Amino acid sequence: MFRQRLVKVSAEARGAYDAETGRIVQKLVAQTMQTFIRRSEAAAMQRMNHCSQQVNVDEPCRRHGGEALVVKEFQAKMAELGFPDGVGDSYDGGYGFLCLDLTASWEDSSCEDAIHLQPTLPKGSCVTCPICQDHRPAVALVPCGHVVCRDCRCQIRQCPFCREPVHSSTRCLFLD
C-alpha cells in the first residue's frame, strides 16, 4: 500500500536526519571540550582557579532536536570532568547562533577541603515544571516571565503558555 510505503520512507529519512544531527553535535562537543580542557590546564598553569568559554552553536547543530542534544551533551561532558553545573543557560546569540557558557572553577590545592569536595546542589529555585512535570531548577522566560525547568527551556522558542517569543531565560528566585 502506498501510504505504508510513505510512512516507511518518512521514518527512514527521520532516522537518517537524527543520526546526522547526532554526528554533527558529537563533533562540535568533542572539538569544544578539547579546547576547553587545554584552556583550563593553561589557566591552572598560570595559577588561576577558573576557566570559562562561550560556545557558539551554529545552524547545523540547531536542526530539529539538535539544540536540546547539544545542551545535554555538554552537560554530560562537563559532569564527567567534575563540573556538574559547568553549563550555563542557553541563549540566542543572534545571527543564527545559540550560545552556551562553559565554566569551571576549582579550589587551590593548598586547601585541605579540596580533596573532599561536596557535590554541588542546583543553583536557583526548583519547581515542578508544568511541561515535563519533573522537580528541577527553574528559569523564567524573557520577556513573559512564565516558569519552566532548564531542560525544557532548551527546547522552546515560543512560550507554551502565552505564545510570546522567548528571547532568553534567567534563573528563578522566589521570595515570600
pLDDT tens, position by position, 92-127: 766 667 788 888 888 755 444 434 444 444 556 778
pTM check: above 0.85: no
DSSP state of 123: S
Structural class in CATH, domain 126-171: alpha beta
Q: What distance in Å separates the CA atoms of residue 39 and residue 136, rounded to the nearest whole number?
A: 31
The DSSP result for 44-79, as a single string, is HHTT--EEEEEEEE-GGGGSTTHHHHHHHHHHHHHH
More confident position, 165 or 120:
165
List the chain domain ranges.
2-107, 126-171
Q: What is the mean pLDDT of residues 9-34?
A: 87
Locate all alpha helices (DSSP H) within the chain, ordered by sequence: 2-45, 66-80, 150-153
Q: What is the mean pLDDT of residues 35-63?
A: 83
Residue 26 reports pLDDT greater than 90: no
